[in-house]
Structure 1
Amino acid sequence: MSRLGLETGRAAVPETSSPRTRGRHPESSGESDSGSPTTLYRSLRPDERPFERGLLPPSPHDDDISARTHVEKGSKLKVKSAYVSATRSMKTAAAWAGREEGGRVATFTNPSRDREVYDLTNPDHQAEVFGDSRTPARNFAKGSKEVVIKHGVPPENIRTVYDARAVSEAAYQEAKNNPPAGMSRQIKSRAKVQEDKVKTRPTPVQLYEVARPEGSSGKR
């Protein structure tokens, strides 16, 4: 992953290492979740229309709010930042989307060629955002494979949008041999400890691809 800060004119920061992987939880799906630096995922807000508008920060927002404040304060900010959060992990995005009825996940190409992007699995990017501070938010962002993108993602970078439906363990197991009509894939997230110290159980989620509206931007 590279960070291109076009306003600063600085050189790109190269990917220095791959994210570390852990042994899988016995109840999680067996898929690799290390992620790719070029493919990112986002659990969508209800008002987002990624094919038509891309992924935009809320309006109004404040361009002067730092990436660190965005990560540490997030939804608690009265005025939002110009950053949009995503993740390198489909499991993480799908688990968030599956928490509410009507949840969706967008997959898209990292717009690091023309956006300021911080990949918080990258130690160099962590240092740029947090300095030497070892805050809980830093650890949580790293564990969630969070990526923050200033000014969002253009619509031409959007690849796919899925409806995300949380299901029971029984439905998850049944779908392995008898997939429901229209299901694209299903995944199960890892058990994790959240920022509030609450440990979550693996979440089974089924994904159903949403048709791209006619006339919307093509995929990159």
Structure 2
Amino acid sequence: MNGFTILLIEDDQPIGSMLQEILEGEGYHVLWLTDGQRVLEEIKYCDLLIIDIMLPGENGYEISEKLKENGYSLPILFLTARSDIESKLKGLSLGEDYLVKPFDPRELLARIHLILKNKYGLFTQIRNIFVDGVHYKVFKRNIHSEIKLTATERKLFFYLYENQNRTLTREQIYDYLWPLEYSKNSVLNVHIKSIREKISDEDNNIIQTVHGEGYRFNTHNHV
């Protein structure tokens, strides 16, 4: 994806700056704190916590325990210089993963990808929207901004999506959505228009009208 928001708690300025650059370069939105004082304010719309253990004030373990006590269940990755087995075991009892500094950025990104995949599943980004083809959900910007589709709109959207880059005729769509109805009217146009408005497809670039035929769900720009 991206569209995921990561809360990074790291008090070392050079390391924090490097991590923010790496993560944002991969498309993640990053909130960076140097201690845990504002963690309850910032955590609400975050999808993953990356946290050092040795921090000013509350340490990483204490912050993680506080989050769990307050009902937060987002995954936690400890990123720390502490390499002793006791620290690792405690970190793994509180979070999903534990990575020791210094680290290879490729390993960090691979671990993040696996954590997010296991927690949230896989998403496909198509221009300004994110599509969850497993749970049949569509999001705008990130996974906290689901686009509300009616039952018919959802069925239509994912019929087009599952046949992406292929033109579906109006007859095919009618037969799929309303197989027992024989009359063809303008109701399909109404649903297409509503979906386009909800996904901000003003230029009809995602759901393209193929004149004289039907509609095509595009994963690339058309002219």
Range class of TM-score, shorter chain = under 0.3
Higher Cα Rg, which structure: 2
Structure number having the greater helix percentage: 2
Q: Which TM-score applies when normalising by structure 1?
A: 0.20
Superposition TM-score, scaled by structure 2 size: 0.20
